[in-house]
Amino acid sequence: MTSRRQATHGCGVELLEARCLLSSISGVAFVDANTNGVRDAGENTFATTRSFYLDLNNSGLLDAGEPSSGVDATGRFLFDNLSPGNYQVRGVPKVQTGPALYGQTLPGNYAGRTINLADNEQVTDADFGYSSDVGMIASGVFRDLNGDGVHQGGDFNLYNALVYADLNNDATRQPDEPIVYRETPGNRYVDGLLPGTYTFRLLVPQDYHQTAPANNGGITISP
Compute CA 78 distance to the chain's CA centroid, rounded to the nearest angstrom: 15
- Residues 139/180, Cβ–Cβ less than 8 Å: yes
Cα distance between residue 64 and residue 119, in whole Å: 26
The residue ranges of DSSP E strands in 85-214, in sequence order, are 85-91, 94-95, 103-106, 113-117, 122-123, 128-131, 162-165, 179-184, 187-190, 198-203
Q: What is the pLDDT of residue 77?
A: 96
Whether the full predicted model's pTM is greater than 0.75, yes or no, is yes
Q: What is the mean pLDDT of residues 144-158?
A: 88
Q: What is the CATH number of the domain that holds 46?
A: 2.60.40.10
Which range (63-72, 85-94, 174-183, 199-208) has the least confidence? 174-183
Percent over 90 (pLDDT), the chain: 48
Domain for residue 76, yes or no?
A: yes
Beta strand pairing call for 85-91 and 52-54: antiparallel
Domain for residue 77, yes or no?
A: yes
Domain for residue 157, yes or no?
A: no
Which structural domain, as residue segments, surrounds residue 57? 23-131
Q: What is the mean pLDDT of residues 95-119?
A: 81
- The total number of structural domains in the chain stands at 1
- Residues 139/178, Cβ–Cβ less than 8 Å: no
Domain for residue 61, yes or no?
A: yes
Q: Is the pLDDT higher at 165 or at 100?
A: 165
Burial class (CB in 10 A: 0-12, 13-18, 19+), 8: exposed
Domain for residue 52, yes or no?
A: yes
Q: What is the pLDDT of residue 56?
A: 97
Domain for residue 113, yes or no?
A: yes
Q: What is the pLDDT of residue 46?
A: 81
Residue 112 has pLDDT above 50, yes or no: yes
Confidence class for position 136, pLDDT limits 50, 70, 90:
low
